[in-house]
Amino acid sequence: MPCRRVGAAGEADVVVVFSGGADDRSPPPPAPTRRLHVIVVVRVPFPLSRCSGLRLRLLRHRSGSGGVRCRVQWPEPVADHARHTWASWRRWQWVRAGARRRRRCCDRRSSVDLPRATGLLPLRHDDHRPVTAFVPTPSNNNRIGEERRGVPGIETTPTDRHLYNKSIIRIASHQMAKNKKGRRNKPVCNPVKDKDRLTTMPNDVLINILERLDTADAIRTCTLCKRMTNLPAELSRIVVDANSFAPNKVAPNLLTLSDLFKMNGALADATDKLLNFRSQQIALRQLSLRFYLRYYDCLTIGKAVQHAMSTYNLETVEFIILTEKQGDFCEETDMLCFGKQFKTFLAAFPDAFAGLTRLQLQYLHFAEPDIPNLLTTCKQLKYLRLFSCLNQDDRAVLRIEHLQLVELDIIYGDFEFVELNCLPKLRRMAYDHWDCHGDPLSFGDVPLLSSLSLTNTSTGWQKNVRLSQLLSTVTSISDLLLNFESEKIWVHPECPKLLGPVFHKLQRVSFVDVPEGCSIDWTMFILEAAPSLKEICITIWDHWCNMKTEEDRREEGYAEKTDVEWESSAPDGFRHENLSKVTIYGFQPDDNLVGYVRRVMEVAVNLEEVSLYDRKVCEYCGDLDPKIKMKVSPSRYPRTMEKRDLLKNQIAEGLGMGWLDVIHFRS
């Protein structure tokens, strides 16, 4: 090991030079007689662009005026400004070290991060083979390596002999405390204080926590601790969203196209590195990607996902494909272009789509055979969501057949109607805002369909839906949701004879956004036709954010909100034995709702709970036009206990005192 003596006349200093040679095993130089200065000279390689970094941890001690110096030997081709920068940085470190020495602490430590131009890489965290060299001093009786007498030491931990140049060099100097007689005692060992709980957890627990986060956030979290730097490669669940790469302090609605391109490119690169540079021995179960439809980015993502499917046994693979333009900014020509890009993406990577289990698409224009071809390619698809996906042919029929599909969502579909011909595993179906005159759906072979959600804003030219005709071939419905968007009631009440075969398994029904001021007695037709019904939920709300103005209603032909005519077809003395819970949102103490609750309590003999809530509040309704706010009537929901008790007695009058404990006013 080459060494060199540096210092003024009459002073004995020691210079230790780490050249990094594998065969350099010469002992350290003889010990100085007065005071110790350890100077580490690091020879910087050239060119600087190929260097990685070095980290020195200098532990200072308080023995006289001694200390630790660090000298960098720059090569000749390096520019002068690099030397000046390093000199200024070194002087700042000495000022900082002097301030720390003046503090009365047992352990004075100073962390020095050399520039990445030194070309030395940090250690792997799985390396535990230290190589220690000690500098002898007169106080240790020439016993090298005896740490119990406080010998300052130099500890290096190389990852391999051929990687000796790329190691972390630790220069340790232990504090020597003095007793009353002025003699030095054994070094004081300071226990680790304020150790955080996160680093003490086992890896399995940390991985479980990280898998609950977005993968980008999980990787950022792992940078906080060296022990966690290898954990992202062990995650079995990878969820990458393009919005995770959004610029800081920029609202999502203010992102420009340039921002979207950068975000999507960063997502494509991250996906490629996460999937291609991953150990095949670590299982990967779930993969979810939310990205924008860009040609070159899709090529990178498709290759990475296709490689992952051939390497790992993936249980869930999800694509959420977004478009650059959305909402009113996306015109028909844009949708045609997006549709062509998606078909190109689908044709380029059929193996990647063949393993998909979940797919969400939006703002795409399809030809009539495109969706059947998509379903044929995606053989393992279990969930499909189509948002504002139109058909190039006007008033076309969408026919869906798939053997594995479990859940289907169609939102703003411009179709004549949708035919569900053969879906043997379909369990959940949602259809929102159809644009057809008659029934929006036609059910074929759907033996397992149990949950149905229908949402629509009815216009004057649309017919009311008769559930007995719409669900004539479906006999397994257990959950039913009908959303009226605070507009006209588009369901036609029917007698129990027609609905009995359809609703004989119905257990839960929800009526959402029923317009205020209209009678809700017509909802009793479900109670009469569903003998197995256990829970009914009604939300009464005029949501002014979604409602049309009077001018728009006249231009678009919206129907007037009127009470639904209905007469009970149940025989006298009808009783329902399974209904146990009734929930009403938007309850007001008027004759309409009070009378409805009383009638339900008379019919449901085993009713256990009646929960009455106030009107829902939307955070965006406060920004409405003052002219619209004037139309919103204030809530008369009972707030005090006196008013609530008075209203309970009014509802349960003549039914018995036991019903008072069933009624609950929820805040």
Provide mean pLDDT across the span 31-45.
Answer: 43
In this structure, what token pair is assigned to residue 51?
Answer: 């260097």
Q: Which range has the worst mean pLDDT, 56-60, 75-79, 389-393, 505-509?
A: 56-60
Categorize the per-residue pLDDT at 410 as very low, low, confident or very high, splitting at 50, 70 and 90: very high
153-157 and 131-134 beta bridge pairing: antiparallel
Categorize the per-residue pLDDT at 133 as very low, low, confident or very high, splitting at 50, 70 and 90: very low
The residue among 25, 26, 14, 41 whose CA lies nearest residue 138 is 14
Residue 548 has pLDDT above 80, yes or no: no
Does residue 106 lie in a domain region? no
Does residue 258 lie in a domain region? no
Residue 394 has pLDDT above 70, yes or no: no
Provide mean pLDDT across the span 127-148.
Answer: 36
Categorize the per-residue pLDDT at 367 as very low, low, confident or very high, splitting at 50, 70 and 90: confident
Residue 62 has pLDDT above 60, yes or no: no
More confident residue, 83 or 111: 83
Residue 19 has pLDDT above 70, yes or no: no
Domain total in the chain: 1
Residue 81 has pLDDT above 70, yes or no: no
More confident residue, 1 or 486: 486
CA distance 293 to 83: 48
pLDDT tens-digit map of 578-597: 999 999 999 999 999 999 99
pLDDT tens-digit map of 614-642: 988 877 776 666 666 666 778 899 999 99
CA distance 510 to 646: 28
Residue 290, Cβ neighbours under 10 Å: how many?
A: 18
The residue among 402, 441, 409, 442 whose CA lies nearest residue 423 is 402
Residue 624 is predicted with a pLDDT of: 66
Residue 609 is predicted with a pLDDT of: 94
Residue 607 has pLDDT above 50, yes or no: yes
Residue 32 has pLDDT above 70, yes or no: no
Provide mean pLDDT across the span 379-404.
Answer: 87
What integer best gives the mean pLDDT of the chain?
75
The residue among 633, 634, 638 whose CA lies nearest residue 667 is 638
Provide mean pLDDT across the span 249-263.
Answer: 85
More confident residue, 198 or 418: 418
Q: Which range has the worst mean pLDDT, 36-50, 239-253, 379-393, 536-550?
A: 36-50
316-322 and 286-292 beta bridge pairing: parallel
Residue 262 has pLDDT above 70, yes or no: yes
Residue 88 is predicted with a pLDDT of: 65
Residue 540 is predicted with a pLDDT of: 93
Does residue 494 lie in a domain region? yes
Residue 443 has pLDDT above 50, yes or no: yes
Residue 85 has pLDDT above 80, yes or no: no
Residue 59 is predicted with a pLDDT of: 35
More confident residue, 527 or 103: 527
Strand order in the sheet with 417-422: 397-401, 417-422, 441-445
Residue 179 is predicted with a pLDDT of: 52
Residue 416 has pLDDT above 80, yes or no: yes
The residue among 42, 69, 103 whose CA lies nearest residue 173 is 69
More confident residue, 413 or 588: 588
Q: Which distant-in-sequence residues (6+ apart) come within 8 Å of 622 by Cβ? A: none
Does residue 371 lie in a domain region? no
Question: Is 494 in a helix, a strand, or coil?
Answer: coil
Provide mean pLDDT across the span 561-570.
Answer: 80
What is the distance of C-alpha 189 from the center of its chain? 44
More confident residue, 300 or 136: 300
Helical spans, DSSP H, in 364-425: 370-377
Using alpha carbons, list the distances in angstroms from residue 197 to 189, 225, 226. 22, 12, 15
Q: What are phi and psi of 31, to 5 degrees?
A: -75, 145
Does residue 511 lie in a domain region? yes
Q: Which range has the worst mean pLDDT, 487-491, 496-500, 547-551, 616-620?
A: 547-551
Categorize the per-residue pLDDT at 280 as very low, low, confident or very high, splitting at 50, 70 and 90: confident
Provide mean pLDDT across the span 83-112.
Answer: 55
Residue 51 is predicted with a pLDDT of: 40
Which amino acid, residue 186?
Answer: K
What is the distance of C-alpha 37 from the center of its chain? 53
pLDDT tens-digit map of 447-490: 999 999 999 988 778 888 999 999 999 989 999 999 998 888 99
Residue 629 is predicted with a pLDDT of: 65
Categorize the per-residue pLDDT at 53 as very low, low, confident or very high, splitting at 50, 70 and 90: very low
Residue 84 is predicted with a pLDDT of: 56
Q: Contact at 8 Å (CB) between 303 and 329?
A: no
Provide mean pLDDT across the span 133-159.
Answer: 37
Does residue 643 lie in a domain region? yes
Provide mean pLDDT across the span 367-383.
Answer: 92
Residue 251 is predicted with a pLDDT of: 78
Does residue 278 lie in a domain region? no
Helical spans, DSSP H, in 349-482: 350-354, 370-377, 467-470
Residue 113 has pLDDT above 70, yes or no: no
Categorize the per-residue pLDDT at 196 as very low, low, confident or very high, splitting at 50, 70 and 90: low
The residue among 438, 457, 441, 582 whose CA lies nearest residue 510 is 582
CA distance 229 to 224: 8
In this structure, what token pair is assigned to residue 664?
Answer: 């609950």
Domain that holds residue 594: 484-666
Residue 623 is predicted with a pLDDT of: 65
Percent of the chain with pLDDT over 70: 67
Helical spans, DSSP H, in 277-378: 295-311, 332-348, 350-354, 370-377
Q: Contact at 8 Å (CB) between 237 and 308?
A: no
CA distance 462 to 452: 20
Provide mean pLDDT across the span 3-26.
Answer: 40
Provide mean pLDDT across the span 356-363.
Answer: 96
Does residue 434 lie in a domain region? no
